A = this chain, B = another copy of it.
C-alpha cells in the first residue's frame, strides 16, 4: 500500500479483526522515571500482550485476513523469536497449521514456546539463506502462506494497533517512540501517529549495533548496519524496502543507543515500573534519557514491545 491514505481503514479493520484475540494492554507511568527524564512518559505495556509481545497483533491480523481457501493449507514463517510464537498462536486459534522454521541453534526456551503454542517446527542451519530456503520449500510443498515477520502489509497494520490504543488512551502526546527492528512496528506506529496525532513527533530508536534504519535514512537508500552486535535480539533484523519507505514517510527521526544504555534503561523499567521487559523494549527509554534535553516537559508515549527474557541469562 504505497498510497498512505488507504492505511487508516486497513488499521481500523485490523483492530476490529484482532480485538477478540488480543489484550488491550495497560498504559503505565512512573513518577521516578518522569523525574529522571524531565518529561511525562506513558508506557504502553505490550509485554503483557498475548505471547508476551506486540507481535501477536500483526500475526493475528495476517492469519485472520486470509481467505478460507488461502488459509486451508496453513501458514509458514522463519523466525525464532516472538513472531514465531505469535504466528503459532494465531494459527491455532484459526484451526490451521503454522510451520515455523527455526535454526537448530535456537534456545530451548524459544523452541518450547513455539511448541507450546502448537507450532510445527522445522529446524535448519543457522543462516538466513537456510531459513529462507527451508521456508520456501515448505510453502511450495504444503501450500502454506508465507507470513513474513514485518515485510507484510497485514502484519504492519496489526502492529499499528498498539499505537492506536496508546494514542486513544493518552490524549495530546507530543512524542511517540518505539524500537526499530525490521520496521514493522515502526511503520505501523508511524502510520498510526500521522493519522491520529499528526502533530506528534514520531521517533524510531535502535541499537547502535543494529543501526540499519539510521544509516538508511542518512543515505536515503536501504543500507545495512556495519555490524550486528547488540543485546537487543529482537532488533537485529534489517528493514525491508516496504518498511523503509514507510519509515521515510512517517518517522521523523531515528536515534541510536549503546547496549550499555539499553541495559541501564531495562533495569530502570524493572525497578521503577516493576515489570519485566526484554532488552529490545528498553531501547526507546534509553534514547529518551540520552536526548532528554530535547523532550523536556513533553508528553511522550513509549511502546514497550515485549517481556520475553531468559531469567538465567540476564545482562547484569
Contacts and interface: CB of A to CB of B under 8 A. Distances in A.
Contact of A270 (B48, B267, B311, B316): B311
Interface in A301-315: 307, 311-312, 314
A52 B276 contact: no
A47 to B, nearest CB: 5
Contacts of A276: 270-271, 274-276
Contacts of A26: 26
Contacts of A47: 274
A314 B311 CA distance: 9
Interface string A267-285: 1001100111100000000
B275 A274 contact: yes
8 contacts: A52-B274, A270-B276, A271-B311, A274-B277, A274-B307, A275-B275, A275-B276, A314-B314
Interface in A175-206: none
Interface residues of A, number: 16
Nearest to A310: B271
A282 to B, nearest CB: 13
Interface string A150-179: 000000000000000000000000000000
A271 B316 CA distance: 18
Q: Which of A26, A274, A307 has the most CB atoms of chain B within a 10 A radius of its CB? A: A274
Nearest to A269: B276
Contacts of A311: 267, 270-271, 314, 316
Contacts of A271: 276, 311
Interface string A106-139: 0000000000000000000000000000000000
A48 B272 CA distance: 9
A312 to B, nearest CB: 6
9 closest pairs, A vs B, by CB? A274-B307, A274-B276, A47-B274, A275-B275, A270-B276, A48-B274, A267-B311, A274-B275, A311-B316
A203 B267 CA distance: 34
Q: Which of A47, A52, A270 has the most CB atoms of chain B within a 10 A radius of its CB? A: A270
Contacts of A277: 274
A245 to B, nearest CB: 33
A292 to B, nearest CB: 20
A99 to B, nearest CB: 24
A48 B26 CA distance: 13
Contacts of A52: 274
Given A52-B274, A275-B276, A316 B307 contact: no
B316 A312 contact: yes
